[in-house]
Structure 1
Amino acid sequence: MNNENRPILDVNEKPPIHQWLTLSLQHLFAMFGATVLVPFLVELDPGVALVSSGLATIAYLIITKGQIPAYLGSSFAFISPIIAVKAFGGPEAAMLGSFLAGLVYGAVALLIKTSGLKWLMRIMPPVVVGPVIIVIGLGLANVAVGMAMNDPVTGKYSLTHFSVALFTLAVTIVCSLFFRGILGIIPILAGIVSGFAFAYFRGIVDFTKVIKADVIQSPDFIVPFVTYTPDFSWTIALIMMPVATVTIAEHIGHQLVLSKVVGRNFLEKPGLHRSILGDGVGVMIGSLIGGPPVTTYGENIGVLAITRIYSVYVIAGAAVTAICFGFLGKVTALISTIPSAVMGGVSILLFGIIASSGLRMLVDNKIDFGNKRNLIISSVILVTGIGGAALKLSDNLQIAGMALATLIGVILNLVLPGREDDDELMNKMFGESNNDTAA
């Protein structure tokens, strides 16, 4: 390993005490904007999201034996399903659905431990996962544009709000393209802060909640059998659980990138089954206190790559700091005062990036759309998912939107002739050295 790639702090090395907080704050800022955006969009408490993010990350570090420096923040993939489930049964139903999604992670982790990866790649290859990720991003496009253009009070078009959104979007793009170092990793946070300042001068920020909030204040936790009694529904399960298969595929991609950044094969040690289980336990922890599902964050992987500080102690410090932030009433109240136009401006870029990452998966895996089979699978997934197709099995049971699109994609991939050889697909995805890694 040359000096340019040599870690400043390796995975199990502790930072100096006087630097620890500063290094951890870098990771907190990297995840902060996106993590609080998700609860803002689905109307959950951002304080709870911060607490669940920190607790989930600590659980992840424990389950992976302190060998993978990864931070878990709010997952964008679950935004549409949470909105759909909340319309069906309120926030409590969304928490139940998130818990069930976490169980999917556990089941997949067990199967990977015992049977390897081929079975997962057989049912969820890139030609299925890529278009589903595109559906996740484009399916939220109307949400982002509506937040950007409309006054949330009147619901009508507002040039003032749209100008704030466009300013926020412009700052986010500039920071992402032209800034280097840590500032280049936190364009979302920079965009939100700048957009918030601009919105204040345009007169659409109200600090009443911040003034009334206590300095130390408990978030609005949603706890099963304490604040509500869970009521299982197959509709909830069918909306939320299929999303986990997509986020698991994204998780594998993150592990591959993280392994390359740190210079270790995390799929083998501590094992992909452990990292997926850690992610799933994090999702379940969030569901037990009222937070959105979590996932490993590319922003924090970027911090690792730039700083070459891979210490899990720094990640744990960020997790503890996030938990503390969740109990700062003034902070969470300030988050709630951010105008929807600011979040809409950031969301235009973020949701587009989600869709583009699905397209990138297709390109990186050299999916040939001259092949009619690939064209058919992708086309059907895109139209059924973005169009909001629904299969209503009864008054209280339906499969809709992304869940139905995913199911159709899996079935088409399994039944249409011309499916790629499993070994060929594994080599394309992971390289020959990781072929059929059972972890």
Structure 2
Amino acid sequence: MSGEKEEKNDKAVDGDEFENIKEPEIEIEDAELNALPRNTSPDNVESATDNTKFELKHPVHPHSIVEKLEASEKDTFLTNNVLNGKDEINSRLEIENDGNVSEIIIEQEEDEMLYKVMDTPPFHLSLMYAFQQVLTPVAGNLTVSILVAEFVCASNDELMKAKLMCTTMFMGGLCTLLQSSIGIGLPLYQGPSSAYIVPLIAMKGIKEWSCDIDAGLFLNGTSNSTYQMRLEEKQLQNLQMLSGSLAIAGLIHTLMGAFGIIGYLLRLIGPVTVVPSITLIGLYIYKPATRFSETSWGIALSVLSLGLILSLYLANWESPFPAWSRNKGFRIVRTKIHKSFAILISILFGWSLCAILTTTDVFPNDPTSKQFQARTDARIDVLQNFNWFFFPYPFQFGLPTFSIGVFANYFLATIISILDSIGDYYACAKICRAPSPPIQAVNRGIFTEGFCSILGGFMGTGHATTTYGGNIGVIGMSKVASRRVFQILGLIFMFFGIIGKIGALFITLPYPVLGGVQLLSFGIFIGIVLSNLQYIDLNSTRNLAIIGMSLLIGLMIPYFVQRNPNALDVGKQQITSALKMVLSNPSFVGGMLALFLDNTIPGTLEERGITTWIPEINQSEEMNNKADFAEKKAIYSLEFLPKNIRKCFLFGKLPFLPEYTVRKGSI
């Protein structure tokens, strides 16, 4: 330090002299000292250690600390402040034993969150951050809704697609609101899971799920109206079977969380089971992806290429982006926003290309041509005809029925969804700098997801919801982890579901754009699934044999069933139909075989990769005690409930409630 600075430090610091300290003298980097809040009193200071160090409950002005200090020896004080309403900083005051300030350093921690989980940003900022999160899962909502329509024979019924889209957005918003409020309590978006639908595409090859309507209906003058009535009847029949089967699978999902059997489940199902099961899902996604992309391969590949460039090739590049703050005004900042919104930017790019090619009539205006579906006005009538307001309600497509084949698929998807969600819980806590969720919170999160699956079945979505990793990535980029933002996000999606024109607008998305998005998103999805192989011993012949045989037989059996539909005839129609639907599902066949072999062939937990699933829960308590987190464990408690309810006898007995005590070694 210079002599001038040392002389300045010899003076007592009162309020006026502190404000006169200039930036060069105290080495404040990229911040103004006057931005520090001054509206709190020394009462915010409380003793933290025996060495007269203090922990501040609220940000205070440094001279308040000096007035409170008992002079003894040099102490370090920490306080968190927000500069310019944006940048999270650490300001450290070095206090000499005579009460003088020797040095003030303001630093910004790279991993500090702008808003933590329990923080409540101003409403206008919360709304802005929520809209930023809205943009990420839109493509997933649209893709899954279209896949449901494909399965229930509504591929050409745009009004049905719009209804499914609105219902999907409404349920996604409701589940997000429940999960962030009374579920696990972390900022998580609950969106539609493709794992529930994609395997059903493979079942379209058997007669029971075929969309072919009797051609004889076209032989009379009323064939068109009769055909339409039969088609609508088929759609409703299929949706009702999806609804009932999903509700039963959701009930099992709920019970798994309610009775805390997640730990036992993780001992049975590991990477050796999950990898072949979900890989077989991916191997069948090429069918709808090809159907959409073939309308214009050029547009589909352009969307795919731009998405790859933004998300992968330019992953480490920081693009210039305009920003404004009250103290600094307008300026250009460097950010990786292009990576966070790669899919959205790709959709807008492809949509714009299709609009240009539609206006110039490059795409034919002939509805019988495949390229007609690439036009932006191919389904414009749904935007005109669909109501402004659409209110999803239970049993809107009729009373649910049950199908053993659909249930078998949904049950397997439920297990996969649970495993995926547990991984997302811990990833979200880590990125938010929060303690790892205790097993009670994990159980409550799974319980909430299961309850939402039941609601999804009653509402007729045809799929359950699961956590979206993409929104967790946006938290890491924006440094905004406030669950209040995600509660507003849920309300926004519910609003979108009620405003029918919004759902109808998404349905007008040109097919090649949707095909390009599927190529990108499902390609990454399959890669993520295969990444689970890193947890198992790939030098083990046991593991390689199980995975290889599961993949091979998972492809062979459905192929055999489709070529020989009468081979499974046991004399009773219902049993025969159930066998056909179960054995024509490659994911179920391969997954069940892998589960059986992995739990019967001798192998250590480490060899099977199970040890990478269990320790996260077993050791989370110990890790939480050692680590320095920005949040407290209170984020996982239900503090909004009155104390007399939380002290109820049941709260200590139910595994998904905060007061439940986990027996050591039970997981």
Same fold (TM > 0.5): yes
Q: Cα–Cα, structure 1 residues 136 and 54, in superposed 2: closer, same or farther, change >3 Å?
A: same
1:75 and 2:193 correspond: yes
Letter of the 1:185 counterpart: S
Match of 2:242 among 94, 111, 124: 94
CA 1:407/1:423 → structure 2, altered by over 3 Å: closer, same or farther? closer
Partner of 1:125: 270
Displacement of 1:426 after TM fit? 2.8
What is residue 482 of structure 2 aligned with on the other side?
Answer: 311
Q: Return closer, same or farther for 1:426/1:420 CA change in 2, 3 Å cut-off.
A: closer
Change (3 A) 1:17 1:165: same
1:195 corresponds to 2:346 = no
Structure-2 residue corresponding to 1:166:
301
Distance 1:422 1:222, change over 3 A: farther
Q: 2:598 aligns to what?
A: 413
Q: Secondary structure at the match of 2:343?
A: helix
1:232 paired with 2:232, answer no
* TM-superposed deviation, 1:210: 5.5
Alignment-derived partner of residue 155 in structure 1: none
Q: Whose Rg is larger?
A: 2
Give me the whole-angstrom Cα distance separating, in 1, the residues matched to 2:340 and 2:142.
16
More deviation, 258-267/71-80: 258-267
Q: CA–CA distance in 2 between the matches of 1:319 and 1:19?
A: 16
Show the counterpart of 1:212: 384
Determine the C-alpha separation between the residues in 2 that align with 1:22 and 1:388.
Answer: 50
C-alpha distance 76-430 of structure 1, shift in aligned 2 (>3 A): farther
User: What SS does structure 1 have at the residue aligned with 2:376?
Assistant: coil
Report the counterpart of residue 61 of structure 1 in structure 2. Answer: 180
Q: 3-state DSSP class of the match of 1:73?
A: strand
Q: Please report how far the alpha carbon of residue 374 of structure 1 lies from its aligned counterpart in structure 2 after TM superposition.
A: 0.4
Query: CA deviation digits over 1:199-232, x for unaligned, max 9?
Result: 222222216326514672216x4733x5412222
2:429 counterpart of 1:259: yes
Aligned-partner residue type, residue 341 of structure 1: P
Q: Distance in 2 between matches of 1:19 and 1:413?
A: 50
1:183 and 2:355 aligned: no
Structure 1 position 250, deviation (Å)? 1.0
Q: Deviations over 1:166-209 (max 9, x none)?
A: 11111221221226534322222222221111122222221632
Q: Given the two structures, how large is their TM-score scaled by the length of structure 2?
A: 0.59
- Paired with 1:87 and 1:202, the residues of 2 have a C-alpha distance of 36
Equivalent residue in structure 1 for 2:252, among 104, 115, 123: 104
Residue in 1 aligned with 2:132?
Answer: 26
CA distance in 2, matches of 1:438, 1:63: 25
1:295 match: secondary structure:
strand
Inter-partner Cα distance in structure 1 for 2:420 and 2:244: 22
Give the structure with the higher percent helix: 1
What residue in structure 2 maps to residue 6 of structure 1?
112
The 1-side partners of 2:613 and 2:385 are apart by 53
**Displacement of 1:270:** 5.3
Report what 2:619 is aligned to: 433
Deviations 1:239-278 (A, max 9, x none): 2211111111111111121121122234307521011112
**Contact kept in structure 2, 1:64 and 1:270, CA below 8 Å:** no
- Determine whether 1:375 maps to 2:544: yes
1:141 aligned partner, one-letter code = Y
> Aligned in 2, Cα 1:231/1:21: closer, same or farther, shift over 3 Å?
same
Q: Percent identity?
A: 24
CA root-mean-square deviation: 2.8
Q: Which residue of 2 aligns with 1:348?
A: 519
**Counterpart contact for 1:185–1:303, Cα < 8 Å:** yes
More displaced 10-residue stretch of structure 1: 235-244 or 51-60: 235-244
Q: Deviations over 1:84-137 (max 9, x none)?
A: 4893751221122222221232132134x2x561x2122211111122222222
Amino acid at match of 1:294: T
- Name the CA distance, whole Å, in 2 between partners of 1:31 and 1:267: 24
Q: What is the alpha-carbon distance in structure 1 between the residues aligned to residue 446 and residue 665 of structure 2?
A: 14
Letter in 2 for 1:302: G
2 CA distance for matches of 1:430 and 1:213?
54
**Does the 8 Å CA contact 1:131/1:381 hold for their aligned counterparts?**
yes
TM-aligned CA distance change 1:100 to 1:82, over 3 Å: farther
In structure 1, C-alpha distance between the alignment counterparts of 2:198 and 2:133, rounded to whole Å: 26
The alignment status of 1:288 with 2:458, answered yes or no, reads yes
| Cα shift readout 1:398-430 (whole Å, capped 9, x = no counterpart) | 223211221111111111122426998335654
Code of the residue aligned with 2:376 in structure 1: it is V
Contact 1:136 1:354 in 2 (8 A): no
Separation of aligned partners in 2, 1:92 and 1:28: 30
May I ask how many residue pairs the two structures share in their alignment? 421
Q: Does 1:15 align with 2:170?
A: no
Name the amino acid aligned to 1:74.
P
Q: Indicate the SS of the match to 1:305.
A: helix
**What's the secondary structure of 1:369's corresponding residue?**
coil
Inter-CA distance 373–380: structure 2 relative to 1 (3 Å threshold): same
Alignment-derived partner of residue 632 in structure 2: none
Contact 1:36–1:74 (CA<8 Å) still a contact in 2? no
Structure 1's 211 and 411: CA in aligned 2 closer, same or farther, altered over 3 A?
Answer: closer
CA distance in 1 between partners of 2:446 and 2:413 (Å): 14
In 2, the alpha carbon distance for the partners of 1:146 and 1:193 equals 21
SS in 1 for 2:121: coil
Contact 1:386 1:401 survives alignment (8 Å)? yes
Displacement of 1:16 in angstroms is 0.5
Structure 1, unpaired ranges of 5+: 152-160
My pick for the range that moved more, 194-203 or 407-416, is 194-203
C-alpha spacing 1:194/1:437, structure 2 compared with 1 (3 Å): farther
For residue 351 of structure 1, report the CA deviation from its aligned partner: 1.5
Q: What is the Cα deviation at residue 294 of structure 1? A: 1.0
